[in-house]
Structure formats: C-alpha cells, structure tokens
Amino acid sequence: MATLQADFTLPLRAFALELALDVSGTVALVGPSGAGKTSVLRVIAGLLEPQRGRVSLDGERWLDSRTRVWVPPERRRVGLVFQDYALFPHLSVQANVAFGAGGRPVDALLERFRIGHLAAAHPQELSGGERQRVALARTLARDPAVLLLDEPLAALDAHTKTEVRHELAELLRELALPTLLVTHDYEDAAALADEVGVLVEGRLRQLGPPAELVARPRDAFVASFTGANLLRGRARRSDGALTAIRLESGEDLYSADEAEGDVGVVVYPWEVSVARTHAPDADSALNVVRGQVGSLVEVANRVRVRVGPVTAEVTAASAARLELADGGVAYATFKATGTRLVPL
C-alpha cells in the first residue's frame, strides 16, 4: 500500500498546528473539537496552505514549501468526505456521484452503495445514512489514491451509527487505500483505524494502535479520551511493590505503576466490578471506592453505571440483579494491576 507523508506547520487562531504523520493503512486522529483535526485534512487535500511543510504520496510531491511545490486540490488524487457531506444541492444523486468521475459510468458505484434507486433524487430528500453513502460514492468515483474522512459518523443518529460504522470498516478494508479519518469519538476511531493519534491543540499527544493507547496512555488527557476513569491523587512510595495514592476525597488506592507526587489514576470501566456489599478478606481487588449509584447508560448489551466518581461497565443482567436502577450505595472495586498512573 502507498504511504501518505505529511509534515507541516499551520498557524491557527489560538495555536499552531504542528504535525508529522505517515499514513499507510487507516489512521484516525481523535481529539476535542477545535484541536485542528479538520485543518489537517484540508492541508493534505490542498484546501489550506500551511506556513511550511511537505505533503507527498510515495514519490509524488503535493506540497513542499522549500522548493515551492504546490499542487492544487483538483490535481491531488485525494478523496475528501466532508463532515456534513457537502453534496451539491442543485444536482441529483446521479449527477453528484458523476461529478468527479470524468465521464466514466457510475451505475456500478450507485448499486454498490445501494443508492441506485435514489439516482434521480436530490440530496435534501435523503436521510443521513443515504447522504453518507452518496458522499462516499462520489468520492470514490474520482478514483482517489488517498481517502480523507472528516467525522464520518458524527452526522448520524445513534441508531444508524453502529451499523454504518461496521459497513465503513468493511469498506476501508476492501479499498486498501491510505486513509486518514478524524473524529471526536475514540470508540469510532478504535473501531475503524489501525492506528489512532490523539490530537490536542494542534499537537499529537500519542500515536499508536488502539490497544496500546488503552494499555499505556501517555498522559491524563489520552487516558480520559480513550474512555478511562481519571481520578486525581497524590502518590507516595510504599514499602512493597505497590504505589499508594491518596485521592482528593481521602481514600487510598494502589497501583503496580511507580510514580511520585501528583498523578492521575487511570482505570477502564470494564476493569471495575460493582457490588452491593464489600468483604475485604474475600476480594483479590485491592482498590475499593464506596459511593452513591448514579446514572445508568445502556451501551449495546452492557450498562455503564457511576459509583461515586468511578464509571463501571457491567452486563445488563448484573445491573438487574444488583438493582442498580434503584440507586443507593455500592462498592466499585478494581485490581491494583489494572490501575495505571499517568502524569497530570
């Protein structure tokens, strides 16, 4: 597979976007809104000109500020799918898809994306999912060498999202194009990409396979962004192999990581057990947080529940058995080995 290389500096309003990235396979950039994610795509597509930098696809140079190379967007072989799809409202679905096809027939593409029956319709008559399929078909009709997706799932409702995400993952695998997608949702990124980069205020905080970001988050932001619980505390060395952390709430927790001073305590919801009673002698989990049961959120076949400051993920059956919906006091327990420490 080809490799897209981007390395540039682009001053934005509040900060400068500084990024060096190789894309081969699917890479997802995640980050809060305003982190500069969309600008990254625009620089690569040629819609924004950075102050300095290089963008190239294998040997093909699209931008090089030193040698004053700048290829306009229409001659970079990129397919950019816009966040709200940017379908042409004055053209039919068929004409939208054919726009960049250079006269090649697009019927097969329409069929492939199940929009053949909508060929004569106009974008404003379509549902969100249909619009996304039209946008993808239109982009692929151009026969791009690189695929850029801006928040591909953000405009969809929760119901269609899971299904579309699955379809999109399959499509990306099939296309085997260098793909860069940006999203504010870590779960989407993890589901779609081989590598995930966390972008905050124009800088990459960490880049790696989704599993690595979860296993070894480099800092507190990466940890909370990947969906972990983040508790603040002060670590002090203890005699044994474990580090003790005094939380702001006064409770003590233990971790197998070494640290000192102010730290973030990271634990993922699926590593937290919930019980109505707690018997320290009968539990291998060293860490216990006692708290009121708060809001319950259903996620597929699981339930996310808050116990004091900690979010736990349990099965729907457990949630029912423990009558979590009724509220009250519960204990969240997790093992010291599943408790990571990160700098704040």
Partner 1 sequence: MFAAAAIAFAFLLFPIVAIFSRVSPGRLVAQLSRPVVTDALVLSLETSAIAQALVLLLGTPAAYLLATRRFRGRSLAVVLVELPLVLPPAVAGIGLIAAFGRFGLLGGTLDAFGIQLGLTQAAVVIAVAYVSSPLYVRQAIAAFEAVDTDLVAASRTLGAGPVRTFFRVVLPLARRGLAAGEALSFARGLGEFGATIMFAGSLQGVTQTLPLAIYQQFNVQPDGFTTALAMSALLVVVSGALLVALRVSLSWQPSRPTSRFLFAPSR
Sheet of 340-343, strands arranged across: 252-255, 243-247, 229-237, 261-267, 340-343
Minimum gap (Å) between residue 105 Cβ and partner 1: 11
Minimum gap (Å) between residue 225 Cβ and partner 1: 27
Task: Report, in angstroms and rounded to the nearest whole number, the Rg of the chain calculated over CA atoms.
Answer: 24
Do 122 and 97 contact (CB within 8 A), yes or no? no
User: Is 102 or 280 the residue whose CB approaches partner 1 more closely?
Assistant: 102
Sheet of 52-57, strands arranged across: 16-23, 4-11, 52-57, 60-64, 69-70
User: Is 92 or 337 the residue whose CB approaches partner 1 more closely?
Assistant: 92
User: Is 11 or 343 the residue whose CB approaches partner 1 more closely?
Assistant: 11
Minimum gap (Å) between residue 43 Cβ and partner 1: 12
Minimum gap (Å) between residue 155 Cβ and partner 1: 13
Residue 176 identity: A
What's the distance, CA 155 to chain centroid? 15
Name every residue whose Cβ is closer than 8 Å to that of residue 92 and which is 6 or more positions away in sequence: 119, 120, 121, 122
Minimum gap (Å) between residue 82 Cβ and partner 1: 5
| Percentages of the chain per state (helix, strand, coil), in multiples of 5 | 30, 35, 35
> Which residues make beta-bridge pairs with 253?
245
User: Is 70 or 260 the residue whose CB approaches partner 1 more closely?
Assistant: 70
User: Is 54 or 142 the residue whose CB approaches partner 1 more closely?
Assistant: 142
Residues near partner 1, by CB under 8 A: 42, 45-47, 72-76, 78-80, 82, 84, 86-92, 94-95, 98-100, 102, 121-122, 124-125, 138-139, 142
